[in-house]
Structure 1
Amino acid sequence: MIKKLLLFTVAVLCPVLSSAQVIYETISSLKLQEDREIKIQLPRNYEENKEKRYPVAIVLDGDYLFEPVAGIADYYSYWEEIPEMIVIGVNQDGTRRQDASYDERQFLPAKQGAAFFEFLGMELLNKIDEKYRTSTFRIIVGHDFTSNFINYYLLKPNPVFQGYINLSPDLAPEMANRVTSALATAQSKKWYYLATGSEDIPQLQESIFSFSNQLKGINNELVSFKFENFEHATHYSLVGKAIPSAMESIFEAYRPISQKEFNEVLLQTSVSPTAYLKDRYESINNLFGIEKQIRINDFMAIHQAIEKTRRWDEYKELSKLAADNFPRTMLATYFEARYEEETGNPKKAMRTYQNAYGQQKIAFLTVDFMMEKANAIKRDFGY
């Protein structure tokens, strides 16, 4: 069953994966006293974007989880639903139980489990940071035994991961209480995703439901928690459904302005549309450690909000943002001209529209469009 599911997933995502760079490496670990194989997917155009930094996703059980995570990461980032990221798969075929082991008294990583914990947190991440252009934002993914294991990082005073994707975890004793306490007292932003399926292993499903009820009671604005129980999903098939949902949940703030936001926030509240746009992208930069240019579609959403609410003063600041993000295009010129046109300065608006001559077209803005706007003012006022 699992092989058929993974073959289907790879077949669907094959055209996507073929466009991304996948590298196979062997790391010599001092902590483990042995070599470990990893898979690395770099974003599209990684080599061309010399200044760009990327979030990192560490995927345990990389021998079967890497391809679904890497495929979704590449596909979703192509459509601007999530940021591009570096995906690292850690192969654990034949070692996963030992890697995820814990002692029977304190229920903390022991022996090879302790060594594997240090390998990931101290050796692997350092090597990736040294070799590739990484941002400060990291997520980690695990399934049953390894899903339990990823939570040990959350128990540290300064966790090295901000996002945790738990796929049907086989929880150690006290893990539910420990994670609940860690999230309840978290001092920095954390994303926690938990999934099971209606046909998951019964013992796991029971503990996961109990765990989710504990987490739902957390009152901490710094914690984003999402739990899902997928109908008709087994212990293995839930993986294919949970990964895209988890990515959407973690990177919700990264996505373009939605129709719901447009209708309920930009049109129905007193919030400044331009300030909303600016704060949104500052939040993206702060949360995910990346410098994200404001999307042209988001500029157009703010433009439409200003037109509908007739808050013409908003165009002044929006023009400055456009000049910073799309210099040498007509975008800033158009917003400046609309401000002058609607605030009683038609002659200045006409001249501003004319300034678009020689600038680059963008979105619906062309030289013909801008000159026609100028000529319309000229006809109306007899200039």
Structure 2
Amino acid sequence: MKKLLLIGFCIFSSFSILAQSKIIYHEFDSVKLGELRKLKIQLPRDYDANLDKIYPIVVVLDANYLFEPVAGNVDYFSYWEDMPESIVVGIMQGDGRYEDCDYDDTNFVPTEKGAKFFEFIGMELIPYIDTTYRTAKFIIAVGHDFTANFINYYLFKDPPLFNGYISLSPDPAPMMEERLFDRIPDIKSKLFYYLATGTDDIKDLMENAERLNTLLKPIDSKNFSYFYDNFEGATHYSLVARAIPSAMEKIFSVYRPISKQEYTDVLLKMETPIHQYLVDKYKTIEDLFGITNTIRVNDFIAVCKASEKQKQWESLREIATMAIKQYPNTVLGDYYLGRYYEETGDPKKAMRTFQGAYDKEEVDFITVDLMLDKAEKIKTDFGF
């Protein structure tokens, strides 16, 4: 009986995992390539449930082995709100990767099959994903050695096709490092570039990555966000598992909820209005990733606590007003608006504000009992 129950539980768990993965296998009939190309697409968990939401795209070359580590990290990071939920599109290449990414021996740009593959991604695949799914205007490309070199060619389009480049132990074409150094400062749009190698990487590739890092690191451009990792003990293949989460964490750092370090090192030291920091944070998310997010409850609480600590009472009022608009059925905004009235010498308004939230949903430490207790204390202290 116990064995039957165990088997039943395992089957149920398997179906649950499959139900959440939303992996689509698709054969794309490419006119540019004159052949069918196999795609592997992962949709976000809530894709079918939230029809108003749009999602960035992560394009994965070498999807035969890179798709799972990328898709798994995207799903994990977005689950914890450390990056936006995204659509992951894997291009299956196998042994054809060298033909797909071929370049000319004289000018070192895509040629023959490589030129066709270049056009397939930019002129067929991305437009297909845009018209088939709900996409935001933010695209990341991921490649490894030969395909990591290939994604660089899209930087020479104006504007570049991708907003983010995850280059894992690249095998650069001749002159690629110098061309990137010359090109990147001229790019006017926001660009994220992540480069990784390992101390046990293939010797030539590690040296190439270090040379490229030496060229890219000093580039001073407000539009260029550059990150580099050289993982201790990582081989050409094992570095992938360490680099992908590192890349996601760095590229989407502004998207993450306000951390304890951010609270301590930034908010508690601000001399400018704290409410503006919150507004700017979410405006940056919208501008960079093309998505408009409701401000997280935890971010509201963090900036409110910082406003209290800093005695920025006007910022507290502004933040409370935003919270009331975004979470009207909760006690969040009412609590901090009541705190504003308390601290600015209007106890009667504070009492009424606390009392008015008695039928709303509780949030974090802000309970209805807390609100009513504060109202009762004011009533007792001031004899209302």
RMSD: 1.3
Offset of residue 58 of structure 1 = 0.2
Matched, 1:369 2:352: no
Alignment match, 1:235 = 236
Alignment match, 1:11 = none
Distance 1:39 1:272 in 2: 46
Counterparts in 2 of 1:194 and 1:26: CA distance versus 1, 3 Å: same
Q: Give 3-state SS (helix, strand or coil) of 2:53's partner.
A: coil
Counterparts in 2 of 1:152 and 1:201: CA distance versus 1, 3 Å: same
Q: Give 3-state SS (helix, strand or coil) of 2:257's partner.
A: coil
Alignment match, 1:7 = none
Matched, 1:283 2:284: yes
Offset of residue 49 of structure 1 = 0.5
Distance 1:200 1:253 in 2: 30
Distance 1:102 1:15 in 2: 44
Could you report, residue by residue, the CA deviation over 1:7-40 in whole angstroms, capped at 9, with x for unpaired residues?
xxxxxxx997762211100000000000000000
Distance 1:89 1:20 in 2: 14
2:274 touches 2:312 (CA, 8 Å); kept in 1? no
1:16 touches 1:71 (CA, 8 Å); kept in 2? no
Matched, 1:319 2:320: yes
Distance 1:138 1:318 in 2: 32
Counterparts in 2 of 1:102 and 1:126: CA distance versus 1, 3 Å: same
Alignment match, 1:103 = 104
Distance 2:307 2:173 in 1: 53
Distance 1:121 1:48 in 2: 29
Stretches of 4+ aligned residues off by more than 3 angstroms: 14-18
Which residues in structure 2 correspond to 1:52-63 (within 5 Å)? 52-63=53-64
Q: Give 3-state SS (helix, strand or coil) of 2:258's partner.
A: coil
Q: Kindly tell me the number of residue pairs found equivalent between the two proteins.
A: 370
Percent of aligned pairs sharing the same letter: 51
2:169 touches 2:195 (CA, 8 Å); kept in 1? yes
Q: Give 3-state SS (helix, strand or coil) of 1:27's partner.
A: strand
Counterparts in 2 of 1:199 and 1:15: CA distance versus 1, 3 Å: farther
Could you report, residue by residue, the CA deviation over 1:325-368 in whole angstroms, capped at 9, with x for unpaired residues?
21221111112111111100001110111110222222222221
Distance 1:297 1:180 in 2: 40
Which residues in structure 2 correspond to 1:17-36 (within 5 Å)? 19-36=20-37
Alignment match, 2:218 = 217
Could you report, residue by residue, the CA deviation over 1:221-275 in whole angstroms, capped at 9, with x for unpaired residues?
1111011111111100000000000011110110111222211221112021111
Distance 2:167 2:19 in 1: 27
Q: Give 3-state SS (helix, strand or coil) of 2:95's partner.
A: coil
Q: Give 3-state SS (helix, strand or coil) of 2:59's partner.
A: strand
Distance 2:196 2:131 in 1: 33
Alignment match, 1:257 = 258
- The residue type paired with residue 258 of structure 2 is I
Alignment match, 1:342 = 343
Q: Give 3-state SS (helix, strand or coil) of 2:167's partner.
A: strand
Distance 2:202 2:165 in 1: 21
Which residues in structure 2 correspond to 1:43-58 (within 5 Å)? 43-58=44-59
**What runs of 5+ residues in structure 1 fail to find an aligned partner?**
1-13
2:70 touches 2:244 (CA, 8 Å); kept in 1? yes
Alignment match, 1:206 = 207
Q: Give 3-state SS (helix, strand or coil) of 1:107's partner.
A: coil
Q: Give 3-state SS (helix, strand or coil) of 2:361's partner.
A: coil
Alignment match, 1:331 = 332
Tell which deviates more after alignment, 337-346 or 352-361: 352-361
Distance 1:216 1:365 in 2: 46
2:201 touches 2:236 (CA, 8 Å); kept in 1? yes
